[in-house]
C-alpha cells in the first residue's frame, strides 16, 4: 500500500484497489458493556451493503474491560481499514503513525484524540436517566461514576443539567476505574458508606450497568429498599446484568447497532479520501428500558398519583383528559393546575410522552411489527398520528428507530 494517495492524515484507497472487495478489520475487546453483538450487527449490515470482507482481529485475552489491546498484533494484518477501540494517548499516537484509514470508538480520550472517532452521546444518556428519575417524582438525585473518565464526566454533565432545569441538586460520588484483581469489598464498601449519607428517597444513576449492580448489592447489605428508598438506573442495557439482577435493573439503552453502522460508514468516508471532523460523531441513546429497580412513584398529591396510574394502565386506549380527571376524582382544571405544579408538564403531554416511550420500545424490539399495529397498541390510533407525534415531540420518524 506504498502507492496510497494522501488525503489529510490518512491514505485514500486508490481506484485499482477499490475495484476489489475491501478487507476491513474490527479490532475490539472481546466484550463491551453496551453490547458487542449489536455493534457487530451494525458494522456487518454496512459491510454487506458495500460488499466488504470483514475480519475480527485476534486480541489479547486480557484486553477486555479494563486492559488495553495488544496493538502489535495488528501490524501483520493486511487490511484496508480498521474499526478499533483505543483509550489512551500512547495507543492513539502509535496508531496515527500507520498509513491506514481507521475509526476509534474508545471513549476515554474525550476530544483529545487525533483518530476520527464515534462516541455515544453521553450527555444525553445522563439527561435521559435524570428525566426518568424526575418523572418518578423524586426530589433527591445522586450519581455514581468512574473517576477521571471522559464518558463518566459527560454523563454527569447531562444528568446535572436536567436536574438543574427541574431545580434539583445532584449528590455525586466517583471511584477510580476498577481492575480485575480488585477485591469485591474494595468495590462496594466505599459505595455503602456513601449511600448511608444520602437523603431518602433518592433516585440514583450509575454510570453503567456494572456499577449499578454494585449499588444494588450495597443497598441490600445496608438494608436500603430498592426501589422504595433508592430507585436505581444504569446505562448500556446489558441484558446479562439487567435481567438477572435482583431487582431487575432499569437502564438507558445505548444504540449499539447504530454505533456499529455509523462507525463503518465513517470508515468508508475515510477510505474514499474524505476528511473527518475533529469532534467525535455522537450517537444518541434510544430510550430507557424501565424495570423493577425504578418501579415506584413518589407523588405527594393523591389525585395526581391516581391520574398517572390511570394513564399508565390505559395508555393503549382512546380517552381524553376529562376521563383522567374523572378517574382521579377531581375537575379537569384542578388536575391541569396541580399536575403542572408537581410534574412541570401537562397531563396531555405526559400521556403523549408515555405513549411515545412505549412506541419506541416496540419499534426497537426484535419482533417489530408494522407502524399501524404499534400505533393502535400505543393509543395513537393510526400510523399518521404516530408519525405526527414523533415529528412534533422528537423531531424524528418512527423509521429512525429500529431493532438493535
pLDDT for 278-295, tens place per residue?
778 899 988 898 899 999
Q: How would you label 326-346 residue by residue, b for 16+ Cβ within 10 Å and e otherwise?
A: bbbebebeebbebbeebbeee
Q: Can you tell me the distance from the alpha carbon of 347 to that of 307, in angstroms, rounded to the nearest whole number?
A: 8
Report, as an integer, the average pLDDT of 53-67: 57
Report DSSP letters for 348-404, one per residue: HHHHHHHHHHHHHHHHTSTT---HHHHHHHTT--SHHHHHHHIIIIISS-GGG----
Pick the CATH number of 122-254+288-294 from 3.40.50.460, 3.30.1490.20, 3.40.50.300, 3.40.50.2300: 3.40.50.2300
Supply the pLDDT for residue 20.
Answer: 77
Q: Can you tell me the distance from the alpha carbon of 198 to that of 190, in angstroms, rounded to the nearest whole number?
A: 13
- Tell me what the pLDDT averaged over the chain comes to: 84
Which CATH class for the 5-119+256-285 domain?
A: alpha beta
Cα-Cα-Cα-Cα torsion 128, 133, 137, 139, nearest 10 degrees, comes to -110
**Rounded to the nearest 5 degrees, what angle is found at the Cα of 171, between the Cα atoms of 169 and 176?**
145
If one counts every other C-beta atom within 10 angstroms of the C-beta of residue 51, the result is: 9
Report, as an integer, the average pLDDT of 372-400: 90
Supply the pLDDT for residue 2.
Answer: 34
| Residue of 227, 186, 208 whose CA lies nearest to 107 | 208
Regarding predicted confidence, which is higher, 382 or 368? Answer: 382
Supply the pLDDT for residue 63.
Answer: 45
| Residue of 260, 182, 198, 188 whose CA lies nearest to 220 | 188
| Residue of 403, 391, 296, 312 whose CA lies nearest to 358 | 312
CATH homologous superfamily for the domain 302-400: Homeodomain-like (1.10.10.60)
Supply the pLDDT for residue 6.
Answer: 36
Cα-Cα-Cα-Cα torsion 144, 156, 227, 401, nearest 10 degrees, comes to -130
Supply the pLDDT for residue 7.
Answer: 36
Name the residue with cell 398519583. 305
| pLDDT confidence band for 40 (50 / 70 / 90) | confident
Supply the pLDDT for residue 15.
Answer: 47
Asked if residue 404 has pLDDT above 60, the reply is no
Regarding predicted confidence, which is higher, 95 or 348? Answer: 348
Write the CB contacts of 142 (distance below 8 Å, at least 6 apart in sequence).
170, 171, 172, 173, 198, 202, 203, 204, 205
* Domains in the chain: boundaries: 5-119+256-285, 122-254+288-294, 302-400
Asked if residue 65 has pLDDT above 50, the reply is no
Asked if residue 96 has pLDDT above 90, the reply is no
SS3 call for 94? helix
Supply the pLDDT for residue 219.
Answer: 97
The DSSP code for 315 is T
| Residue of 103, 105, 83 whose CA lies nearest to 34 | 105
SS3 call for 205? strand
Beta-strand relationship, 141-146 and 118-120: unpaired
Q: Phi, psi (5° rounding) for residue 226?
A: -110, 120
**Rounded to the nearest 5 degrees, what angle is found at the Cα of 292, between the Cα atoms of 289 and 293?**
90
| Residue of 187, 201, 186, 189 whose CA lies nearest to 142 | 201
Q: Which residues, in sequence order, are bridge partners of residue 11?
A: 6
Outline where 295-331 has alpha helix (H).
302-314, 321-328
Asked if residue 180 has pLDDT above 70, the reply is no
Supply the pLDDT for residue 215.
Answer: 96
Report, as an integer, the average pLDDT of 372-385: 92
- Express each pLDDT in 238-260 by its tens digit: 888 999 999 999 999 988 888 99
Q: Can you tell me the distance from the alpha carbon of 115 to that of 280, in angstroms, rounded to the nearest whole number?
A: 9
Q: How many CA atoms does the CB half-sphere of 205 hold within 13 Å?
A: 34
SS3 call for 339? helix
| pLDDT confidence band for 5 (50 / 70 / 90) | very low
The DSSP code for 62 is G
Packing angle of the helix pair 347-363, 302-314 (nearest 10 deg): 30
Fold match, 5-119+256-285 / 302-400: no
The three cell numbers locating residue 7: 488525503
Q: Phi, psi (5° rounding) for residue 302?
A: -65, -30
Which helix H or strand E contains 252, and what residues bound it? Answer: strand 250-253
Regarding predicted confidence, which is higher, 314 or 84? Answer: 314
Predicted structure pTM score: 0.78
Report, as an integer, the average pLDDT of 383-394: 91
Amino acid at each position: 500500500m506504498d502507492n496510497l494517495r494522501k488525503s489529510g492524515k490518512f491514505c485514500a484507497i486508490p481506484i485499482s484497489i477499490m475495484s476489489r472487495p475491501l478487507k476491513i478489520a474490527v479490532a475490539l475487546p472481546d466484550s463491551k458493556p453496551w453490547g458487542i453483538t449489536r455493534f457487530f450487527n451494525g458494522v456487518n449490515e454496512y459491510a454487506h451493503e458495500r460488499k466488504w470482507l470483514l475480519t475480527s482481529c485476534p486480541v489479547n485475552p486480557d484486553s477486555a474491560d479494563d486492559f488495553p489491546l495488544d496493538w502489535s498484533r495488528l501490524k501483520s494484518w493486511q487490511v484496508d481499514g480498521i474499526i478499533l477501540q483505543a483509550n489512551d494517548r500512547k495507543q492513539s499516537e502509535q496508531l496515527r503513525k500507520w498509513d491506514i484509514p481507521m475509526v476509534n470508538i474508545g471513549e476515554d480520550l474525550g476530544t483529545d484524540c487525533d483518530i476520527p472517532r464515534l462516541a455515544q452521546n453521553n450527555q444525553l444518556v445522563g439527561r435521559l436517566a435524570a428525566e426518568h428519575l424526575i418523572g418518578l417524582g423524586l426530589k433527591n438525585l445522586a450519581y455514581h461514576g468512574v473517576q477521571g473518565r471522559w464518558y463518566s464526566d459527560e454523563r454527569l454533565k447531562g444528568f446535572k443539567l436536567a436536574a438543574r432545569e427541574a431545580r434539583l441538586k445532584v449528590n455525586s460520588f466517583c471511584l477510580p476505574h476498577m481492575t480485575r484483581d480488585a477485591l469485591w469489598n474494595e468495590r462496594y464498601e466505599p459505595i455503602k458508606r456513601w449511600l448511608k449519607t444520602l437523603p431518602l428517597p433518592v433516585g440514583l444513576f450509575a454510570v453503567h450497568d456494572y456499577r449499578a449492580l454494585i449499588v444494588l448489592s450495597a443497598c441490600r447489605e445496608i438494608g436500603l429498599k430498592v426501589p422504595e428508598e433508592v430507585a436505581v438506573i444504569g446505562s448500556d442495557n446489558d441484558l446479562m446484568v439487567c435481567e438477572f439482577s435482583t431487582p431487575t435493573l432499569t437502564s438507558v439503552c445505548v444504540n449499539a447497532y447504530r454505533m456499529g453502522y455509523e462507525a463503518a460508514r465513517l470508515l468508508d468516508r475515510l477510505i474514499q479520501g474524505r476528511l473527518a471532523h475533529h469532534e467525535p460523531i455522537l450517537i444518541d441513546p434510544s430510550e430507557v428500558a424501565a424495570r423493577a429497580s425504578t418501579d415506584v412513584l413518589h407523588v405527594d398529591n393523591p389525585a395526581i398519583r391516581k391520574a398517572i396510574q390511570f394513564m399508565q394502565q390505559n395508555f393503549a386506549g382512546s380517552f381524553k383528559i376529562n376521563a383522567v380527571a374523572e378517574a382521579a376524582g377531581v375537575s379537569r382544571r384542578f388536575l391541569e393546575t396541580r399536575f403542572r405544579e408537581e410534574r412541570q408538564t401537562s397531563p396531555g403531554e405526559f400521556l403523549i410522552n408515555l405513549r411515545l416511550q412505549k412506541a419506541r420500545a416496540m419499534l426497537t424490539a426484535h419482533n417489530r411489527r408494522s407502524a399501524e399495529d404499534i400505533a393502535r397498541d400505543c393509543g395513537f390510533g393510526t400510523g399518521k398520528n404516530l408519525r405526527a407525534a414523533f415529528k412534533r415531540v422528537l423531531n424524528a420518524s418512527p423509521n429512525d428507530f429500529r431493532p438493535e
